[in-house]
Structure 1
């Protein structure tokens, strides 16, 4: 009987406090994280830990994942990276190479299939994994350790350790002496379709823009990051995510500039984002329609316009309306 599991990652600030999780059911799940990591590293660690935890079973494994970067890394790009000595198409080293090597080893001899699912769209298993990963990142933001979970029955392997870029050995032992521990947080994007660094890849300007759902998923993830205090109070992050011409019309009708937002002490902690629609207006412009729900239950409707600027996506405009 096929084991169906969802794997997900989370990062507050990206990089920032990060978490990972996989979920099969209430009796079989696991999560963890680090004080500093990226969303991609969380996604990779979740799949690696799931593979290692289920290594002793004979049943096929079907992994639900909302990161095309992870799926494509394992199913499309990895063979080419190995042939090139773990180099990308542009000749640069593969990011998180030690994790990629561990994933390659964990996949050997396994019957594993992957399915992309749209994140934050009500898929039951994905929502469970997302909540666990997000909870792990929030725990690390509070300098606490999240509850690891029961894991998979009979498992002895360990999939993630203290360094998001370097997992422990498959048996939970020390990292091999040939490994250089270095947390790589220079990832160009959160979700990718084309091989990173190749023409047409998200975050790589030459060639046609990436097709498929990757760009919309990236924009949604960036929008969520703007609801976190870690990002809203970090001028560097706001400069990266908001265009210099950025304007916001809030639910009270007030207009904000990027500078004014950076000086604001208002907190959006606990606000939930529900995606209503993503619409590609052009190759370089995405309209995101979403609902914000506060911890007290009040909700508002928002429209955000994101535009590709060079290798980055920046929000240029947002408007909110109170919902009766």
Structure 2
């Protein structure tokens, strides 16, 4: 597949969890040529790391064609996982350095497969530090939890 990306999409992602595990949410902000799109989602029982991964997965999934992406996350787990650890995990049959199964391997494999169609630069930003886009995706993730819990409460 030819990778044609003359333009860059900026993606900001975050995950949140109330309890770990517990109800969780994720948020993503996509920006292309000044136009922004927000995405978010909820899961009833999950972990913070799974929500961080889901935010990146759902954001990259939203790309309709091969794209050059600058992805910003406040999760060292996501950034280092994709830029440092994943090749070793794959080489070892999805085992970590302790020869144990990689946590969240299902999501890592999904994220890695989605990433193949794009050129992605992974960036870490300090969370809760006044970074406007990171603050926004944190808000989206928490709003998704609030809405999900409210919806569950009305259906019980």
Which 4+ stretches in 1 moved above 3 angstroms?
none
Name the CA distance, whole Å, in 2 between partners of 1:24 and 1:97: 25
Q: Which residue of 2 aligns with 1:29?
A: 38
Give the superposition deviation at 1:98.
0.8
The count of residues paired between Structure 1 and Structure 2 equals 144
| Kept in 1: contact 2:67–2:117 (CA 8 A) | no
Pick 1 or 2: higher relative contact order, CA cutoff 8 A, min separation 6.
Answer: 2
| 1:114 maps onto 2:127 in alignment | no
Deviation per CA, 1:102-151, whole angstroms, max 9, x where unpaired? 11101114111111111111111111111000111222233449xxxxxx
| Residue of 13, 16, 19 corresponding to 1:13 | 19
| Residue of 95, 103, 122 corresponding to 1:95 | 103
- The normalised TM-score by structure 1 is 0.43
| Kept in 1: contact 2:40–2:144 (CA 8 A) | yes
| Kept in 2: contact 1:31–1:136 (CA 8 A) | yes
Q: Which has the larger radius of gyration?
A: 1
| Kept in 2: contact 1:17–1:138 (CA 8 A) | no
Runs (5+) with no aligned partner, structure 2: 1-6
| Kept in 2: contact 1:24–1:125 (CA 8 A) | no
Cα RMSD, aligned residues only = 1.7
| Kept in 2: contact 1:35–1:143 (CA 8 A) | no
Q: Which residue of 2 aligns with 1:57?
A: 65
Q: Which residue of 2 aligns with 1:3?
A: 9
Change in CA separation of 1:2 and 1:22 when aligned onto 2, cut-off 3 Å:
same
Name the CA distance, whole Å, in 2 between partners of 1:81 and 1:143: 38
- The normalised TM-score by structure 2 is 0.86
Deviates more, 1:57-66 or 1:34-43: 57-66
Counterpart secondary structure, 1:142: helix
Name the CA distance, whole Å, in 2 between partners of 1:61 and 1:51: 9
| 1:84 maps onto 2:92 in alignment | yes
More helix by share: 2
| Residue of 6, 30, 40 corresponding to 2:49 | 40
| Residue of 135, 139, 145 corresponding to 1:127 | 135
| Kept in 1: contact 2:30–2:59 (CA 8 A) | no
